[in-house]
Structure 1
Amino acid sequence: MTDAGCGALPVLIAPSSGEQELWPHLGSSLFLNCTLRLIDSCNANLTWLKNKNPAPEVYREQQSFWNGLNSSERFLTSILNVNLTTEGDYGTFTCQMQSVMASFTLHKSDKAGHIAAVLFALCVLAFLVVGTIVYIKCRLNVRLWYKDKYGELEINDGRLFDAYVSFCPSNIDTKFTNFILKPHLENRYGYKLHLDERSLLPNTEPSAELLMNVSRCRRLIVVLSLVYLEQEWCQNNFRNGLFRLLELSRKPIFIVFENQYKELPAEVTQLLTSQRGILKMLLWKADSVSPASDFWKELRLALPRKLSFSEGRGDPQTQNQDDKDPMLTVHSETADPDPDGDLGVRRTFYKAPPPRMAPVRNPRDRENVGDVDISDLGSRNYSARADYYCLMTEPDL
Structure 2
Amino acid sequence: MAGSCPFFVNDFNLATITFRMQVLGCPYRKYGLDCNQPCNCSNGVNCHGFDGTCLCPKGFESDSCENLNPVLDVKFNQRHIYLPWGSDYDLVCTSHGLTNGDIQWTKNNEKLWAVNTIVPEKYYPKPVKSVHQLQNVTTEHNGVYTCETTNDTSVSLKTTVNINVLEIPTPFIEGPNIQSVLIGDNITITCRVKEPVEIAFWKKGQANSKLFSIINSTNTMFIKNNPDDGLYKLTILNVTLLDESEYRCYFGRDFLDVNLTFAESHVIVNVNPLKPFPSIYKHDSLSTEIKLPVLDIYDVSNGDIINMRCEVNLSKPVVELSWFLDGSPFMESNKYVETDDNLLFNTSIEFLKTATVSDNNRVVTCVAENSIILKENKTVYLNVTYKPVVEIDPESASITEGEDLTFTCSSNSNPMPSSYVWFVNLSNGTKLINQNPVLKFSSVTTDFNNAKLRCEVENSIGKSYADVTNVTVKRIEISLKIILPCSVVAAVVCVAILSLIVYKYRFRIRMMQARQNVYKNREGDKEFDFFIAYKSGGGDEDFVINVLTPKLEEMGFKICVHFKNFLPGSTIIDNITEAVHNSWKTILVLSPAFLESGWCQYEFETALGNMLNQRADILPIIYENVLNLPNLDKNIQSLLKTITYLNWNGGNIDEDQKIRFWKDIEKNAPPRTAGQMADNNNEVQEAVELKEI
Higher strand fraction: Structure 1 or Structure 2? 2
* Structure of greater Rg: 2
TM-score by length of 2: 0.21
Q: Relative contact order (alpha carbons < 8 A, sep ≥ 6): 1 or 2 greater?
A: 1
TM-score by length of 1: 0.33
Higher helix fraction: Structure 1 or Structure 2? 1
